[in-house]
């Protein structure tokens, strides 16, 4: 029997009653998730029969509404109204989990977020997450694999002595991009996990400039670390402080992949502290950073990729900074050409993400126009000259388009002629010694 399914039963009376309030929330959260709905069966709205192939894998919490509104409504043809409970939403979640062993054994993913489509600002009474409460919720979910925390106020504290140890997650995402005041004290919650395969941070730069030097209770091992810092000013103090906090609270011995959009001295410290690091991934936007100094270089580190996004509007590229975006890609790479990284990196991958804004115009024509606006080839040559052992340069292309009513970008197929157009542009712009190293392909992500 697959581990992600609950036992089946032939008895029509073999039913489990869950709180009506929880069932209403489950219906509301799953109304757009057709795949999950196919695996869920609700009888009389408040009964979950054990005879069905029930799969409650995802729980999204809390169901907060707008400040003072008393309720929140999903913008959907299958809308569901939530009435805010009188107690803290996370405390209510813990209470429901404590009384429902069936739910405890089913949940694989936990998202501590406001309902989709609602503003990030919510009643603080219902959006404050204490460490003790969070530990209690996690302890009641033995099969938990993914946790997504965002737009909540984290309050630090000491985990209870009864907390389980050795918990591992496939992915942990922590974000405060919805509102700067959220997630003020987020590092302590890392100590309740022994291992996090993929750790993601998306943070504003308004967090404390220093952290406690006290050693954490434990440091989780991390394989993939992804950091996005949204900075309102060019100061490096926040990013350096953030990376210092990561270095203090994480076990970086197993780190294999590191992604960042801020190339600053703190970033170099993470690299020097990760002996198993194999690849770097940089996002444009960090600008031209200072040259980095490294204490040590991970022996397995050999590749780096950098991502750039290029909007395509109706009628033409329509974005006067297309060439500037191209330059940003190479400016992001330049700080890591400092010795000794220049002598160990042999593979560079440039991920090229055009975003069509209007598919009524043929994608290929818009794409060609975009490529024609890239005129600066001196900058990439200058940066590439900084690498001593370069063996391959890969240009990856991925098209994505936003559809009205959808919260995400949807991929478009990359055809051979798109790859050929990129190849032609590169061969015209780069000198032969670099053009011969270039591979052009469709990018997966």
pLDDT tens by residue, 170-203: 999 887 654 544 445 677 778 888 999 999 988 7
Which residues have a Cβ under 8 Å from the Cβ of 346 and sit 6 or more positions away? 302, 303, 389, 390, 391, 392
Which residues have a Cβ under 8 Å from the Cβ of 214 and sit 6 or more positions away? none
**337-377, pLDDT tens digit by residue?**
766 777 788 888 888 777 766 565 577 777 888 888 889 99
pLDDT at 290: 58
87 is a domain residue: no
**pLDDT > 50? residue 81:** no
Say whether the peptide bond before residue 340 is cis (omega within 30 degrees of 0). yes
Averaging pLDDT over each range in 81-90, 91-100, 404-413, which range is the top one?
Answer: 91-100
More confidently predicted of 268 and 379: 379
**Residue 168: count of CB within 10 angstroms of its CB:** 13
6 is a domain residue: no
**pLDDT > 80? residue 130:** no
197 is a domain residue: no
SS3 187: helix
Stretch 306-333: mean pLDDT, rounded? 71
Stretch 312-316: mean pLDDT, rounded? 50
If we measure between CA atoms, which residue out of 135, 123, 118 comes closest to residue 89? 123
Question: Which of 69-78, 276-285, 397-406 has the least mean pLDDT?
Answer: 69-78
Stretch 293-304: mean pLDDT, rounded? 80
351 lies in which domain range? 302-445
366 is a domain residue: yes
**pLDDT > 90? residue 432:** yes
More confidently predicted of 87 and 295: 295
If we measure between CA atoms, which residue out of 270, 264, 178, 179 comes closest to residue 224? 270
**357-367, pLDDT tens digit by residue?**
656 557 777 78
Q: How confident is the model at residue 67 (pLDDT cuts 50, 70, 90)?
A: very low
Query: In degrees to the nearest 10, what's the CA dihedral of 62, 63, 65, 70?
Result: -110
347 is a domain residue: yes
- Separation of alpha carbons 233 and 100, rounded Å: 48
Averaging pLDDT over each range in 69-73, 139-143, 213-217, 398-402, which range is the top one?
Answer: 139-143
Q: How confident is the model at residue 246 (pLDDT cuts 50, 70, 90)?
A: confident
* Helical ranges in 306-437 per DSSP H: 322-333, 363-372, 378-384, 416-429, 432-435
307 is a domain residue: yes
More confidently predicted of 221 and 311: 221
- State how beta strands 279-283 and 257-260 pair: parallel
439 is a domain residue: yes
pLDDT at 251: 92
pLDDT at 36: 54
Averaging pLDDT over each range in 24-28, 251-255, 293-297, 353-357, which range is the top one?
Answer: 251-255
Residue 112 near residue 150, CB atoms below 8 Å? yes
106 is a domain residue: no
Averaging pLDDT over each range in 31-45, 55-69, 281-295, 326-340, which range is the top one?
Answer: 326-340
pLDDT at 408: 60
Residue 290 near residue 264, CB atoms below 8 Å? yes
Q: How confident is the model at residue 257 (pLDDT cuts 50, 70, 90)?
A: very high
Stretch 225-239: mean pLDDT, rounded? 68
Q: How many domains does the chain have?
A: 1
């Amino acid at each position: 029997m697959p581990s992600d399914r609950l036992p089946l039963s032939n008895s029509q009376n073999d039913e489990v009653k869950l709180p009506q309030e929880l069932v209403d929330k489950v219906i509301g959260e799953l109304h757009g998730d057709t795949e999950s709905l196919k695996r869920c069966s609700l009888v009389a709205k408040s009964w979950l029969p054990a005879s069905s192939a029930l799969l409650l894998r995802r729980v999204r919490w809390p169901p907060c509404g707008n400040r003072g509104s008393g309720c929140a409504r999903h913008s959907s043809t299958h809308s569901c109204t939530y009435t805010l409970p009188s107690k803290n939403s996370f405390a209510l979640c813990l209470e429901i989990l404590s009384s429902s062993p069936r739910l405890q054994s089913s949940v694989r993913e936990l998202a501590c977020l406001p309902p989709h489509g609602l503003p990030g600002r919510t009643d603080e009474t219902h959006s404050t997450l204490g460490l003790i409460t969070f530990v209690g919720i996690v302890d009641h979910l033995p099969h938990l694999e993914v946790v997504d925390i965002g737009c909540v106020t984290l309050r630090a504290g000491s985990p209870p002595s009864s907390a389980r140890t050795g918990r591992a997650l496939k992915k942990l995402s922590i974000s405060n991009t919805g509102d700067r005041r959220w997630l003020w004290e987020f590092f302590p919650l890392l100590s309740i996990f022994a291992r996090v395969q993929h750790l993601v941070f998306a943070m504003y730069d308004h967090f404390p400039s220093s952290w406690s030097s006290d050693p954490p209770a434990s440091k989780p091992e991390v394989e993939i670390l992804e950091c996005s810092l949204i900075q309102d000013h060019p100061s490096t103090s926040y990013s350096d402080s953030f990376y210092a906090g990561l270095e203090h609270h994480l076990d970086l011995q197993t780190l294999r992949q590191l992604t960042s959009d801020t190339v600053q001295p703190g970033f170099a410290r993470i690299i020097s502290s990760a002996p198993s690091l194999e690849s770097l991934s940089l996002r444009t936007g960090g600008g031209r950073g200072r040259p980095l100094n490294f204490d040590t270089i991970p022996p397995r580190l050999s590749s780096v990729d950098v991502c750039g996004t290029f909007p395509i509007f109706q009628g033409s590229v329509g974005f006067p900074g297309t060439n500037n975006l191209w330059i940003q890609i190479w400016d992001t790479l330049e700080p890591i050409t400092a010795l000794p990284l220049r002598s160990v990196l042999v593979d560079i991958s440039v991920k090229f993400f055009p975003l069509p804004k209007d598919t009524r115009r043929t994608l290929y024509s818009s794409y060609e126009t975009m490529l024609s606006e890239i005129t600066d080839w001196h900058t990439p040559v200058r940066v590439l000259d900084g690498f001593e052992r370069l063996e391959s340069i890969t240009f990856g292309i991925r098209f994505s388009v936003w559809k009205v009513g959808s919260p995400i970008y949807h991929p478009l197929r990359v055809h051979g002629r798109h790859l050929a157009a990129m190849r032609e542009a590169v061969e015209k712009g780069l000198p032969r010694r670099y053009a011969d190293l270039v591979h052009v392909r469709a990018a997966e992500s």
